[in-house]
Amino acid sequence: MAHISLVLVGFGNVGKAFARLLLKKRQELAARHGLSFQVNGIATARHGTAINPAGIDLERALALAESGQSLAVLSARPAPEEIAAFIRACPGDALLENTPVNHHTGRPAADYLRQALEQGMHAITANKGPVVHAYQELTDLAKAQGRRFLFESAVMDGAPIFSLFRAALPAAELRSFHGILNSCTNLLLERMESGESLAEAVRYAQAIGIAETDPSADIDGWDAAIKAAALCTVLMGAPLKPNEVEREGIRGITPALLAEAARAGERWKLVCSARRDDTGRVRASVAPERVGPGSPLFSVRGTSSYVQFELDVLPGLGIVESDPGPETTAYGLLADLIHAAQDA
């Protein structure tokens, strides 16, 4: 039985869903994967920090966080509030990083992951920023340390995109992809089709936890752009930053445009695309497009996502994820943890 000690940085919706999934899967992890675990530390922006090398009571941590109380009462010793100091002070075999994304620099999340690797931990994240802005650096560092840098949940939550290419598609060349990678705008456009204004659709999305207080990263295409950049960087070997992705959001989609598309039997979707041209250069874009019933994007509804890949050996391979939530993101983290522990 392999035993792994975990350090959690970020304990919001995804971090708490991951903790609940660990508890739910405890017996299965032991029986099927020969893996036991304990959480040695939790650092949060809102609920303080806690370190206990003997293991933190996860059920109590969840109860405290849900009730808005501090996790400090779970700490066996003083735990630094500053995250870098917390990571230095907390022993562990794997860091699970779930802090907010910085689309433009990937920091400070990339710094936390780098620090974890330097301390001999596996580095696992659901954060798109480090994948785009520090992929090669963190991958090389992980290899040098004999650890893993994994990020399945960074694009399309728990859908196995990166691991699919890493393991199940050897000697396959990705030539292009297109799809719906931002579930928030997919929901917004659908609500607008039913007659709501963009502002009304945003308020609904915020009420159900799909849109942030500031929804501009979704509406203006930044979230879609960084996801497209992540796929280009990792799967196509073409490092792109979000500002190198041609980007247009959905602010220009008016009721008149929606009505015109509906009369033609079509829908508007925010589509991410990338293709390698004849010179070998990869170009990527995010833009609203009208799609008809003949497109697989047409039937992607609500908060679902879809991506279709064109490979030299498989001309059309698609993955659809229906109505994801924090639980599906948490599963991607768990899958990465299992792979890291088994490869160690």
- pLDDT number for residue 63: 97
Q: What is the pLDDT of residue 216?
A: 94
Residues 6+ apart with CB under 8 A from 41: 7, 8, 49, 50, 51, 52, 56, 79, 86, 89, 90, 92
* CB burial of residue 2 (10 Å; 0-12, 13-18, 19+): middle
Q: List pLDDT tens digits, range 145-160.
A: 999 999 999 999 889 9
Region of 259 on the Ramachandran plot (φ > 0 left; ψ -120 to 50 alpha; else beta): alpha
**pTM across the whole model:** 0.95
Closest CA to 233 of 298, 292, 174: 174
DSSP helix/strand/coil, 341: helix
Residue span(s) of the chain under CATH 3.40.50.720 come to 2-158+326-343
Strands 282-291 and 246-247: parallel
Alpha helices in the chain (DSSP H): 13-24, 26-33, 58-66, 83-89, 109-118, 128-145, 162-163, 183-193, 198-207, 216-219, 222-235, 255-263, 326-343
- What tens digit of pLDDT does each residue of 94-139 get? 999 999 999 999 999 999 999 999 999 999 999 999 999 999 999 9
How far apart CA 227 and CA 136 sit, in angstroms, is: 16
CB under 8 Å to 289, separation ≥6 — which residues? 268, 269, 270, 271
pLDDT confidence band for 323 (50 / 70 / 90):
confident
What pLDDT was estimated at residue 211? 85
According to the model, what pLDDT value does residue 184 have?
95
Cβ neighbours around 281 below 10 Å, total: 9
Does the pLDDT at position 222 exceed 70? yes
Residue in 278, 327, 275, 269 with CA at minimum distance from that of residue 301: 269
Fold of 2-158+326-343: Rossmann fold (3.40.50)
Per DSSP, what are the bridge partners of residue 69?
Answer: none
pLDDT computed for residue 144 by the predictor = 98
Summarize the confidence of residues 30-41 as an average pLDDT: 96
The arithmetic mean of pLDDT across residues 29-44, rounded, is 96
Whose CA is closest to 228, among 323, 163, 154, 149?
Answer: 154
Two tokens, residue 86: 């917390």
Cα distance between residue 222 and residue 243, in whole Å: 9
> Cis before residue 242, ω within 30 degrees of 0?
no
pLDDT surpassing 70 at residue 344: no
pLDDT tens for 262-312 read 999 999 999 999 999 999 999 999 999 999 999 999 999 999 999 999 999
The residue written with tokens 């041609």 in the block is 246
Checking if the pLDDT of 250 tops 90, the result is: yes
pLDDT at residue 316 is higher than 90: yes
CATH architecture for segment(s) 170-321: 2-Layer Sandwich (3.30)
- Which residues lie below 8 Å from residue 332, measured CB to CB, with a gap of 6+? 126, 152, 153, 157, 158, 159, 160
pLDDT in tens, 166-215: 999 999 999 999 999 999 999 999 999 999 999 999 999 999 888 888 89
Q: What residue spans in the chain does CATH classification 3.30.360.10 cover? A: 170-321
Ordered strands of the 282-291 beta sheet: 246-247, 282-291, 267-276, 174-180, 305-311, 317-321
pLDDT in the model for residue 209? 84
Q: Share the mean pLDDT of the chain.
A: 95
Q: Does the structure show a pLDDT above 90 at 1?
A: no
Please calculate the CA angle 60-63-65 and round it to the nearest 5 degrees: 110
